[in-house]
């Protein structure tokens, strides 16, 4: 439960950045750059997760998966997909 609560909290900060652009925010930079840039970052971070898993060590996996999760949250916010919908879908599969 703890991780979903934290991701929810982070998502709310990301939504705030989406709706209230401000100087010096990487999240605002991503939203200003648009969908293609966000998708590109997700692709890059996914590759970095793979490389980390292929021998860069435990801590590197933690860092790269964190980067990937953050960028996925930015995409969900852009697309107005709520984290509750993801939880619902995962729970539905889990219950099968």
- The answer to whether 36 contacts ligand PRT (rule: CB under 6 A) is no
Query: Is residue 22 exposed (0-12), middle (13-18) or buried (19+ Cβ within 10 Å)?
Result: exposed
Tokens of 5: 């609560």
Residues 38, 43: Cα–Cα separation, whole Å = 9
Q: Of the two residues 6 and 81, which places its CB atom closer to ligand PRT in the complex?
A: 6
Contact 30, 23 (CB under 8 A): no
Q: Which stretch binds ligand PRT (CB under 6 A): 19-27, 32-40, 50-58, 84-92?
A: 19-27
Taking CB under 6 A as the criterion, which residues in 66-95 touch ligand PRT? 67, 70
Binding site residues, ligand PRT, CB under 6 A = 10, 13, 17, 25-27, 67, 70
């Amino acid at each position: 439960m703890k991780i979903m609560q934290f991701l929810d909290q982070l998502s709310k900060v990301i939504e705030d950045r989406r709706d209230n652009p401000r100087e010096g925010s990487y999240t605002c930079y991503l939203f200003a750059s648009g969908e293609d840039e966000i998708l590109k970052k997700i692709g890059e971070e996914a590759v970095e997760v793979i490389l980390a898993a292929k021998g860069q060590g435990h801590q590197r996996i933690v860092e790269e998966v964190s980067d990937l999760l953050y960028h996925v949250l930015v995409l969900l916010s852009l697309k107005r997909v709520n984290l509750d919908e993801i939880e619902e879908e995962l729970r539905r599969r889990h219950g099968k």
